[in-house]
């Protein structure tokens, strides 16, 4: 495992946002869902796509709080421009489970 400095870690801006809209992304190479996430204040709404169809439907994601890296450069995912990277962990089958706070917190809050 490569080590990084604490200063390197502080450069990664991880924030909480609320999914405001979600829809299937059938054009993706692997099944995915497009999401629009509100990070409030200075960041506003950002969009992303994620391969989370094993555990989530678009309707189930709307209103959910999720954690995301918000300071990566935008990345083209097929015909969709992804602006943030939502965070998750693989379950036993390798399917992604999204990271989220276990209590409601204000959107835009930065992980400490």
Confidence of residue 78 (pLDDT cuts 50, 70, 90): confident
| Torsion 75-49-26-23 (CA) sign | negative
Number of H helices and E strands in the chain, helices first, is: 2, 9
CATH of domain 6-98: 2.40.50.140
Q: What is the pTM of this model?
A: 0.94
Tell me: the pLDDT tens digits for 8-21? 999 999 999 999 99
Instruction: Please give the Cα distance from 106 to 71 (Å, whole number).
Output: 19
């Amino acid at each position: 495992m490569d080590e990084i400095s604490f200063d390197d870690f502080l450069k990664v801006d991880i924030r909480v946002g609320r999914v405001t809209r979600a829809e299937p992304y059938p054009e993706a190479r692997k099944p995915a869902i497009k999401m629009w996430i509100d990070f409030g204040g200075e960041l506003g709404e950002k969009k992303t796509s994620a391969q989370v169809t094993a555990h989530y439907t678009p309707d189930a994601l709307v209103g959910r709080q999720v954690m995301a890296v918000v300071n990566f450069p935008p990345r083209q995912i097929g015909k969709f421009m992804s602006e943030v990277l939502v965070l998750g962990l693989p379950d036993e089958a390798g399917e992604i489970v999204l990271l989220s706070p276990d209590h409601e917190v204000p959107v835009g809050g930065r992980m400490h």
